Amino acid sequence: MSGKRYPEEFKIEAVKQVVDRGYSVASVATRLDITTHSLYSWIKKYGPDSSTNKEQSDAQAEIRRLQKELKRVTDERDILKKAVVDQLVNATVM
């Protein structure tokens, strides 16, 4: 027996409709043309208590941390570039 395969994003969105938006499992399953059994297993895998969800939250936190660090380093670089240009201008004026 070969079942239909769904992308992970589809599964996560289906779980969000139940967990975050409060729709019933039956209504989401009917609307998305999937079985309630599949949706329950996806909730177990991708729901708020799942290890996959924790890993995604950890990864998102790491991405935010790295974005902040990148902004800080970029700002530092821009300040240093401006300082070098100012020094060169002052050196050529003298």
Mean pLDDT, contiguous 10-residue spans, the chain (94 residues): 82 94 96 96 87 75 95 98 92 78
The reported pLDDT for the residue numbered 53 is: 65
pTM over 0.75: no
DSSP string, 6-54: --HHHHHHHHHHHHTT---HHHHHHHHT--HHHHHHHHHHHSTTSHHHH
Provide the angle, in degrees to the nearest 10, between the axes of the packed helices 51-93 and 36-46: 50
The reported pLDDT for the residue numbered 19 is: 92
The reported pLDDT for the residue numbered 2 is: 54
What residues contact 19, with CB distance under 8 A and at least 6 apart?
A: 43, 47, 48
